[in-house]
Chains A and B, each alone.
Chain A
Amino acid sequence: MSADRESHDMNGMTDMTHTDIALLLADAADEAEIGIAPVQAVIRGGRRRRARRWAVAAATTLVLAGSTGVTLAVTGLPGHTDRNAAVAAEPSTPEARHVYVPQVTEVARGTDHGKSWRVVVSVWGAPRDASEAAVQLAAMRRYGIESAALPDHRHLVGMTSYYSGLYYGDNPLRTIIFNTVKKWEPETGMSLMSGALPLGRANSDGPERLVVGAVAITARQVRCGWKDGTSTVVEPQAVAGSPVEWFACTAPEGTAYQSAEVIQ
């Protein structure tokens, strides 16, 4: 820039060769503290991402979260219903829109190894502005949703969130399937989305004995097939605030999830 600088350049004083730059960069790079590769954290994060990506790939409002064995099935025929997800004349207050207190529906309950368990679905109305979104996020935390499953606060305005989760014994809520969507598309025809996971405490590694999923409101029966060749048939049920019906089934002790399909 200055005359001095120019003359230095001309004299070769600042003739930084490529090798010099490479050496300087290598030296600067040594400043980085390397530490131990956080393999498990990366794998956990990767699994969460994979679940989210599947949801998007399936073009359905689905995210699966959970332990190693989480699986997703998106099957079915391109059926058609005229059910629409739009809600006419939305109430104006956030309370009435269930922004801060979700609509919660129990989908299934039972006992396993002496512990009672319940599967619930909570549906959170769309915040209309950033301040409603902030309050909703805080309410979600209080409700028990793990931080990893909380929606991105920057993309919460105008979005409906839903969470299916498992309460097992005294353990905190364990999120199973969740998503935050602008428009919650209903399932159609025989299509089905399901997540299978171990029935038990959070992060347990047991066989995938619990299957939770959503189907079209026209579906009457869902069959969950188990690895030992047996199956369980359940009836999906309506969930407040949801344009799809939900089901949950559990595999008998000693076997695990193999398939799930709408049969009627």
Chain B
Amino acid sequence: MGDGKQARNEAFQSFMVGRWPRLMRTAFLLTGEQHAAEDLVQSTLERVYVSWRRVGAADDPEAYVRRVMINLHARKHRRRLKEFLAPKDDSGLVHEIADAGDRIAQADDRGALLKALAQLPVRQREAVVLRYWEDLTETQAAEAMGCSVGTVKSNAAKGIAKLRAIPGLAETVTHGGRK
């Protein structure tokens, strides 16, 4: 009994340590904020731990983790969307045109993208992040979001369209994108 439990704990620990960086990055894109991202990942993993006996033995524990994270994220936003993702300032960085290769400008672009993401409706943001950052298929993204493939498609398309409309980002892309 004790051995099995310990083995499961160890398996969970190594899973968590291995996935932590990626989960943090995904959560950061979803929430747009460091502490909110940490909270989201931590809450997600606590839930995963609770079901680890089953999840750890499953073929694709990652899918479960994504589902939990997206659910939690969506739930949080249902409650307090504005406060959670309100952009911190309005310094006008979005409208600056960056010199390619300039690190400061690059940081500005990041800020612009995060700000733009934050302004997307939650489901669009989730669809964009899952499809283009997590690189999931539409089916996998639909699974994670608990919706149909069609819904993922339309949310991702709308999200991308809105991101396209951001002048700063558009310029960056036009100048050759990132390294």
Q: How far is the CA of A185 from the CA of B114 in the complex (A)?
A: 49
Q: Scoring B residues 50 to 93 as 1 if CB is less than 8 Å from chain A, else 0, what string do you get?
A: 10100000000000000000000000000000000000000000
The answer on a CB contact under 8 Å between A28 and B17 is no
Question: Which of A13, A23, A31, A41 is the one whose CB lies under 8 Å from B28?
Answer: A31
Interface of chain B, helix or strand or loop or mixed? Answer: helix
Of the stretches B125-133, B138-146, B147-155, the one at the interface is: B125-133
Q: Scoring B residues 28 to 63 as 1 if CB is less than 8 Å from chain A, else 0, what string do you get?
A: 110000100110001101111110100000000000
Residues from chain A with a CB closer than 8 A to the CB of B46 are 42, 45-46, 49
Interface of chain A, helix or strand or loop or mixed? Answer: helix
Q: How far is the CA of A50 from the CA of B53 in the complex (A)?
A: 12
Q: Scoring A residues 1 to 31 as 1 if CB is less than 8 Å from chain B, else 0, what string do you get?
A: 1000100110001111111111111111111
Q: How far is the CA of A22 from the CA of B129 in the complex (A)?
A: 9
The answer on a CB contact under 8 Å between A39 and B16 is yes
Residues from chain A with a CB closer than 8 A to the CB of B120 are none
Residues from chain B with a CB closer than 8 A to the CB of A14 are 164-165, 170, 173-174
The answer on a CB contact under 8 Å between A24 and B109 is yes
Question: Contacts A22-B132, A34-B24, A37-B16; is A27 near B165 (CB within 8 Å)?
Answer: no
Q: How far is the CA of A14 from the CA of B172 in the complex (A)?
A: 9
- How far, in Å, is A201 (CB) from chain B's closest CB? 22
Check: B121 CB closer than 8 A to any chain A CB: no
The answer on a CB contact under 8 Å between A25 and B133 is yes
Check: A43 CB closer than 8 A to any chain B CB: yes
Check: A86 CB closer than 8 A to any chain B CB: no
The answer on a CB contact under 8 Å between B47 and A49 is yes
Question: Which of A23, A34, A42 is the one whose CB lies under 8 Å from B178?
Answer: A23
The answer on a CB contact under 8 Å between A5 and B165 is yes
Check: A182 CB closer than 8 A to any chain B CB: no
Residues from chain B with a CB closer than 8 A to the CB of A33 are 24, 34
Check: A32 CB closer than 8 A to any chain B CB: yes
The answer on a CB contact under 8 Å between B110 and A28 is yes
The answer on a CB contact under 8 Å between B45 and A46 is yes
Check: A53 CB closer than 8 A to any chain B CB: yes
Q: How far is the CA of A1 from the CA of B162 in the complex (A)?
A: 11
Q: How far is the CA of A39 from the CA of B113 in the complex (A)?
A: 31
Residues from chain A with a CB closer than 8 A to the CB of B122 are none
Question: Contacts A16-B169, A21-B160, A39-B17; is A29 near B29 (CB within 8 Å)?
Answer: yes
Question: Contacts A39-B13, A49-B46; is A30 near B25 (CB within 8 Å)?
Answer: yes
Question: Which of B16, B29, B169 is the one whose CB lies under 8 Å from A42?
Answer: B16
Q: For chain A residues 138-191, which have a beta carbon within 8 Å of chain B?
A: none
Residues from chain B with a CB closer than 8 A to the CB of A41 are 42
Check: B177 CB closer than 8 A to any chain A CB: yes
Check: B124 CB closer than 8 A to any chain A CB: no
The answer on a CB contact under 8 Å between B21 and A26 is no
- How far, in Å, is B42 (CB) from chain A's closest CB? 6
Residues from chain B with a CB closer than 8 A to the CB of A32 are 24-25, 27-28, 34, 37
The answer on a CB contact under 8 Å between A26 and B106 is no
Q: How far is the CA of A32 from the CA of B23 in the complex (A)?
A: 10
Residues from chain A with a CB closer than 8 A to the CB of B29 are 25, 28-29
The answer on a CB contact under 8 Å between B50 and A49 is yes
Q: For chain A residues 32-83, which have a beta carbon within 8 Å of chain B?
A: 32-35, 37-39, 41-43, 45-47, 49-50, 53
The answer on a CB contact under 8 Å between B177 and A24 is yes
**Chain B residue at minimal CB-CB distance from A50:** B50
Residues from chain B with a CB closer than 8 A to the CB of A8 are 170
Check: B99 CB closer than 8 A to any chain A CB: no
- How far, in Å, is B38 (CB) from chain A's closest CB? 8
* B interface residues, Cβ below 8 angstroms from A: 9, 12-13, 16-17, 20-21, 24-29, 34, 37-38, 42-43, 45-50, 52, 106, 109-110, 113-114, 117, 128-129, 132-133, 135, 160, 163-165, 169-170, 172-174, 177-178
Q: Given contacts A42-B16, A46-B47, A47-B49, could you give 15 more A-B pairs where the C-beta distance is less than 8 Å?
A: A14-B173, A16-B173, A20-B177, A21-B132, A21-B163, A24-B178, A25-B113, A25-B129, A26-B178, A28-B113, A30-B25, A32-B34, A35-B24, A42-B42, A49-B46
